[in-house]
Amino acid sequence: MVSKPQNELVFTVSDTQASPLSNVDISSLKFLERQHLQEWVLRQPEIIGDDVLVVTFEFDRWASPSGIAPSDRLDVLGLSQEGRLVLAELKRGKVPDTVDLQAIKYAAMASRFDEDLLTELHMEFLNRDKKVEAQVTLEEAAVSIAQHVEGAMTPELLLSPKIVILAEEFSVPVVSSVIWLVEQGLDITLKQYKAYKTSGGEIILTVSQFYPVADVSAFQAAPYSKAHKKPADQLPVVPWSIDDFAQLAALPFEVPQAIMDLCSRTPDHWIGSSDVYEKAGVVQKAGMGKLAGFGYSTRTRFERSNPPWKTNWGHGGLPQQYYSVDEAAAILWSKVRSDLLSSSIEIL
């Protein structure tokens, strides 16, 4: 088997004492693939990726033109914040040499998922441990996905899933195959877990990325360019100015504009998304998609992390998003709208 790229040392510490822990096989601890490893991922999806929302697990409802459905079972299906599918293949102990082909097969079949089916499956996942009276609706599941995805979830993105293989060890043939497949353009990540047992019987699990390895350029200093753009998670919170609002009003953002129009009439009060979609003349799903698109524009066009309004889920008593702006933003937006109206009248 392939060893880790670097030796992992795990200690328990007490005052000045550091006691090393020995690695133990997860199978010797009686942990099982579906009952344990899978549940750990479902409850802590950061195991397979920092930005993963679990959509469903153990999916096996495939169809084929022949009428004979494949018997394959997809371990975990998630969504990244950029709107791509994340397919996780989980293996206990020694990974079989065919796991890479298995993951590619699942990715090919799962790439035919659409937004409606993903929403339905996510609703079923959210309701798996809930009592009937507490179960979420299809609309609430759609909101959960829309709030997670930072942009439009397009068919093109869904056709290009990410593959994550989580295992205790990887063989040379698997690693070699994955490296070649990545070089051909596939997005595959190998994640490795290790179990350790303390003297008191407590089990410690570590998870690390086995492949791809870190790019050395991430650790090198280089001349700074003012043209260099910050990653989305490093963008600042910036107050919206009258020039920002003028730009927003001039762009084809009918849903964000409807939020500002309604909220500016009654500053510091909450307006429900149903009222916003009605004013914008769009159905809920389209409205959510347009808001997701505006979130992308907020980061790229306006170069900030914050929209011009505050949000609060269910604030008005209904299971929907609510929006509010303060008086200062309301005054600026109203002036921009008034100036646009005056300009239109002058043109006429």
In CATH, 11-214 is 3.40.1350.10: yes
pTM of the model: 0.61
Portion of the chain with pLDDT greater than 90, in percent = 42
Looking at residue 5, its pLDDT comes to: 42
Q: What is the pLDDT of residues 8-48, one digit of tens each?
A: 889 989 899 998 998 898 888 889 998 999 999 999 999 99
Residue limits of CATH 3.40.1350.10 in the chain: 11-214
d(CA 145, CA 157): 15
The residue type of 331 is: I
Beta strand pairing call for 188-197 and 162-167: parallel
Quickly tell me which residue has 């992390």 as its tokens: 305
- Number of other residues whose CB lies within 10 A of the CB of residue 118: 21
d(CA 313, CA 115): 22
Tokens for 166, please give them. Answer: 């989580």
* Cα angle for residues 56, 61, 67 (degrees, 5° grid): 165
Q: What is the pLDDT of residues 209-257, one digit of tens each?
A: 999 876 555 555 656 554 445 555 568 889 999 999 999 998 888 999 9
Residue limits of CATH 1.10.10 in the chain: 236-347
- Out of 25-29, 66-70, 88-92, pick the least confident: 66-70
Maximal CA-CA distance, the chain: 83
What does CATH list as the number for 236-347? Answer: 1.10.10
SS3 for the chain is CECCCCCCCCEEEECCEEEECCEECHHHHCCCHHHHHHHHHHHCHHHCCCCCEEEEEEECCCCCCCCCCCCCCEEEEEECCCCCEEEEEECCCECCCCHHHHHHHHHHHHCCCCHHHHHHHHHHHHCCCCCHHHCCCHHHHHHHHHHHCCCCCCHHHHCCCEEEEEECEECHHHHHHHHHHHHCCCCEEEEEEEEEECCCCCEEEEEEEEECCCCHHHHCCCCCCCCCCCCHHHCCCCCCCHHHHHHHHHCCCHHHHHHHHHHHHCCCCCEEHHHHHHHHCCCHHHHHHHHHHHHHHHHHCCCCCCCCCEEEECCCCCCCEEEECCHHHHHHHHHHHHHHHHHHHHHC
Q: How confident is the model at residue 260 (pLDDT cuts 50, 70, 90)?
A: very high
d(CA 62, CA 46): 27
Looking at residue 129, its pLDDT comes to: 83
